[in-house]
Amino acid sequence: MLKEAIIAAFGGHVRFDGSQRPASVSACVVPRDRFGEAAKVMKKAYALLAAEWASDETSLGRGYGVFACYRWGSEYLIVKTEVPSGDPWFPSLCRSFVPAFRFERQIMSLMGIAAAGNPDVRPWIKFEDWPAEAWPLRKSFDAAQRMPRVTGEYIWTRAEGEGVYEIPVGPVHAGIIEPGHFRFQAVGEDVINLEERLGYVHKGIEKKFESLVWQDGAKLAGRVSGDTTVAHSLAYCMAMESMTGCQVPERAHWLRALFLERERIANHLGDIGAICNDAAFAFMLYQLSRLKEMLLRTNLRLFGHRFMMDRVVPGGVTVDIEPAGKREILAEMDMLAADFEKLVTIYDENPSLEDRVRDTGILKPARARELCAVGIVARASGLNLDCRIFNPFPPYDRHEWMELDVPVLISGDVHARAWVRIQEVRESIRIVRKMIEEMPDTGTHVPAGQPAPDSSGFSAVEGWRGEIIYWLQSGPAGEINRCMVRDPSSINWLGLELAVLGNIVPDFPLCNKSFNQSYSGHDL
Amino acid sequence: MIRILRQIFRTGIVTEQLPPALEEEIREVGAKLEEAIRQRFRRSLTIRQVDAGSCNGCELEIHAMNNPIYNCERFGMHFTASPRFADMLLVTGPVAWNMEIALRRTYDATPSPKLVVAVGDCGCNGGIFGESYASLGGIDRIIPVDAYVPGCPPSPTDLLNGILKAVR
């Protein structure tokens, strides 16, 4: 659909790039001045913007490449435009796609390519005390350097008028959470504006990838966001395997799916508990964190790590499961399901909890679509998106066998986001059982091989927060030239800003917890 | 309500003794800890957790310390919202360049005497992120550190043990 749409609109002015892997993902190049027009065509074809990024291709004898990835159903289309290094700008996509404004701020800040027409030219992630000429993703930037701090000022959105006041929060928050800054403008108790400022945990991950050998990249990917370690390392590995043509054994795929679902269950249990805790119902937090701890301990016993870090590697997985381990997981799932259902009933029947979570922090379906939201947040706001259905790897591709039921709610409130998680826990328990019972007997690992020079790979994996995208590009010697990471948080953070509008300030923690986006995955 | 009560009674107390390997060490530390906490912290150790750039892995395990299985409050320690009330900073790392100032300010806002525990491989030495334009490496590059808890991430038991060591 998308491919046809762009061919119809651009005719001979669009060139398709055969070096993009996997073959199911198309990549094309359009002239720079028509990059914005391509976005318009995509918008008309009902596509959503999945990611926008830039790559320094000077070592490949070109200038910069600016990329936009669009998604419609199960089709991904990457539209690229080439930007000469002496004249670094490209047309902004903001007019067609709202989330582009933040992607483009990031491209400007870290790669030094301006998005012409983007109304927000403030830096993002790059703080005001960075030297203006520091563009870390450029090849000419020395990653090992110590930057001097300069004086500068960040221009905040302001609100004025009688009774309007501001509440700055962070970066060091009251709880045990990651750092970020939130600035509320409020009248009385009502929030009239929320502005996020993230980037505090920027560790130079994307730059770091470029200094690693391919095999070690999976380890770093596993530490992009520690709570999503399986999904991130899996997405990295799948993108890399698509470049080398590596055929991962069937059993390895199934084990990866098993790890992914266990990660989903563990994090959802923690989140549901934490949402209830923020509505002053600590009982649920303690009950659910007990169940979560049980899962983590089983992970440690069976797979050697509580979060299964570094268990997914290029070419397969590092651990296998024995029949005794299978029995243990099945018994654990039985116990988990029984206890979980009791707790869901309590959640569902508690009026004081209902009072807090219903109609709080609403992200309307139309807004979620505008923001191109992904994952739990999207599914709680009426968008039927799930890579396990639309972009599956084995065993998810056996739809008739797995019958995966993806919950989609339309109320978009805190309750919807909690309920999507509850339904997903139920589904994950069911498919974990199914996968355990029918896991094929093959090997678990094959050599991954090395990507060819100047090629690129892509993957999209449904982590517990939502769709994670990796885009890898190899350099002239076949090394990592660029590793683009798009955590679901990069998009969904925008949803939180909208969802809290009109809510009272004390409900912010509840709204925030129901989104529970990653700071580290966003800041990279 | 009856369901809640039934679930509470059915679950019972799930808090565990520490693993036998650690038991003796903890007992030894525990005796000294009790004395130290009584003298230096008026019987309760108040901890402020600071994420100076971690991937959130260490935070998950610090959360787990508070779950009913580990129940760290039984050792007289609890987490506070403000560094002003804290006896100890539990800092995860590496120190991101963008967090350096906030970390220094948090340290300065904590009243002396104060203890600092560096958590995780990254907190100890920068870990996989090392030192770069954006990552300044271990916590001790920025503020003085009293104890180190390596691990990626360290388990809740490692964390408890590390905190007890710092207090000793």
Q: What is the mean pLDDT of residues B33-37?
A: 66
For the stretch A414-469, pLDDT in tens is 999 999 999 999 999 999 999 999 999 988 999 998 999 999 999 999 999 999 99
End-to-end alpha-carbon separation of chain B, Å? Answer: 44
Q: Does B1 lie at the interface with A, CB-CB under 8 angstroms?
A: no
Residues A326-360 pLDDT 10s: 999 999 999 999 999 999 999 999 999 999 999 99
pLDDT of residue A160: 87
Collect all residues of chain A within an 8 Å Cβ-Cβ radius of residue B50.
Answer: 172
Closest Cα to residue A375, out of A299, A287, A486, A285?
A486
Does B46 reach chain A within 8 Å, measured CB to CB? no
Cα A304 from Cα A307, distance rounded (Å): 9
Of B115, B30, B18, give the one whose Cα is nearest residue B76.
B30
Tell me, what's the pLDDT at B25?
Answer: 54
Q: Do A178 and B60 touch (CB under 8 A)?
A: no
**What does chain A come to in residues?**
524
How far out from the chain centre does Cα B66 lie? 10
β-strand pairing of A64-72 with A48-56: antiparallel
**Which A-chain residues 111-130 have CB contacts (< 8 A) with chain B?**
125, 127
Residue B23 binned pLDDT confidence (cut-offs 50, 70, 90): low
List of residues 6+ apart from B119 with CB closer than 8 A: B54, B58, B62, B90, B91, B92, B93, B149, B153, B154, B159, B162
Contact check, Cβ <8 Å, B133/A307: no
Nearest CA in chain A to B58: A226
pLDDT over 70 percentage in chain A: 100
Please say if the pLDDT value at position B31 is more than 70.
no
User: Can you give the pLDDT at residue A192?
Assistant: 93
Measure CB to CB from residue A203 to each of B49, B96, B102 and give the nearest one: B96
Order of strands across the sheet that contains A75-83: A15-16, A26-29, A75-83, A64-72, A48-56
**Do the Cβ atoms of B4 and A283 come within 8 Å?**
yes
C-alpha atoms less than 13 angstroms from C-alpha of A185 in its C-beta half-sphere: 12
Q: Which positions ≥6 away from B31 have C-beta within 8 Å?
A: none
**A219 CB-side CA count, 13 A:** 11
Task: Say which CATH topology domain A205-523 has.
Answer: Cytochrome-c3 Hydrogenase; chain B (1.10.645)
The answer to whether A462 touches A231, Cβ cutoff 8 Å, is yes
Give me the residue from B53, B57, B69 closest to A307, CB to CB. Answer: B57
H helices of A178-281, in order, are: 205-209, 214-221, 229-244, 250-278
Identify the band that residue B12 occupies on the pLDDT scale cut at 50, 70 and 90.
Answer: confident
* B67 touches A: beta carbon within 8 Å: yes
Pinpoint the alpha helices (H) of A93-222: 100-111, 205-209, 214-221
Nearest to B54 by CA among B99, B104, B98, B92: B92
- Containing H/E element for A519? none
Residue A146 sits at the chain B interface (C-beta within 8 Å): yes
Report yes or no: A417 at the B interface, CB cutoff 8 Å.
no
What's the mean pLDDT when you consider all of chain A?
94
What residues 436-475 of chain A have any CB closer than 8 A to a CB of chain B?
none
Task: Please name which of A158, A106, A195, A204 lies closest in space to residue A493, comparing C-alpha atoms.
Answer: A195
> According to the model, what pLDDT value does residue B47 have?
93
CA A44 to chain CA mean position, Å: 25
User: Rg of the Cα trace of chain A?
Assistant: 23
The predicted-structure confidence for A214-271, as pLDDT tens digits, reads as follows 999 999 999 999 999 999 999 999 999 999 999 999 999 999 999 999 999 999 999 9
Which B residues in the span 123-152 are in contact with A, Cβ-Cβ below 8 Å? 127-135, 152
Neighboring chain A residues of B137 at a CB cutoff of 8 Å: none
From the list B98, B127, B155, the residue facing A199 with the nearest CB is B98
User: Could you tell me the two tokens for A188?
Assistant: 């009385």
Residues of A in contact with B52 (CB under 8 A): 179
- The rounded distance, in Å, linking the Cα atoms of A375 and A360 is 19
pLDDT at residue B22 in the model: 56
Which of B63, B69, B132 minimises the CB distance to A208? B132
Residue with tokens 């379906």: A365
CA distances for A139 relative to A56, A57, A111, angstroms: 6, 8, 9
Q: Which of the listed CATH numbers 3.30.565.60, 1.20.120.80, 3.10.180.10, 3.40.50.12280 matches domain B41-167? A: 3.40.50.12280
Is the predicted pLDDT of residue B29 greater than 60, yes or no? no
For chain A, the domains span 2-116, 205-523
- Alpha-carbon gap, residue A98 to A369, rounded angstroms: 10
CA dihedral angle for residue B80, residue B82, residue B85, residue B86, rounded to 10 degrees: 70
3-state secondary structure of A470: strand
Phi, psi (5° rounding) for residue A123? -65, 160
Mean pLDDT of A485-506: 94
Q: Hey, which bits of A145-189 come out as E strands?
A: 164-169, 181-187
CA distance A102 to A105: 5
Minimum distance, in Å, between the CA of residue A125 and any CA atom of chain B: 9
Q: Which residues of A touch B82 (CB under 8 A)?
A: 174
Can you tell me the mean pLDDT for A51-58?
A: 95
Residue B21 C-beta-side C-alpha neighbours within 13 Å: 3
Q: Taking a C-beta distance cutoff of 8 angstroms, is the pair A163, A187 a contact?
A: yes
For residue A205, which residues of chain B lie inside 8 Å, CB to CB?
129
Size of interface A-B (CB pairs under 8 A): 145
ipTM score:
0.92
Contacts of A519 in chain B (CB under 8 A): 56
Cα separation of B110 and A228, whole Å? 32
B14: helix, coil or strand? coil
Confidence of residue A500 (pLDDT cuts 50, 70, 90): very high
Tell me the average pLDDT across B72-77. 80
Residue in this structure with the two tokens 């922090």, named with its chain if needed: A361
Strand pairing class (A89-91; A190-197): unpaired
Contact B56 A518 (CB under 8 A): yes
Distance between CA atoms of residues A29 and A16, nearest Å: 6
| Range A2-116 has CATH code 3.40.50.720 | no
Among the partner-chain residues B7, B11, B98, the one whose CB lies closest to the CB of A200 is: B98
Contact state of B133 with A141 under an 8 Å Cβ cutoff? yes
Which residues 158-187 on chain A approach chain B with CB closer than 8 angstroms? 171-172, 174-179
- Quickly state the pLDDT bin for A501 (edges 50, 70, 90): very high
H/E run at residue B102: helix B100-109
Secondary structure (DSSP) of A207-223:
HHHTTS-HHHHHHHHTT
Instruction: Choose, out of B16, B65, B73, B98, the residue to mutate when testing the contact with A (most A CBs < 10 Å).
Output: B98
Distance of CA A319 to the CA centre of its chain: 26
Q: What is the model's pLDDT at position B34? A: 64
Length of chain B: 168
- Report the SS3 class of residue B110: coil
How distant is the Cα of A10 from the closest Cα of chain B, in angstroms?
41
Residue A18 — very low, low, confident or very high, per pLDDT cuts 50/70/90?
A: confident
Cβ distance of B68 and A134 shorter than 8 Å = no
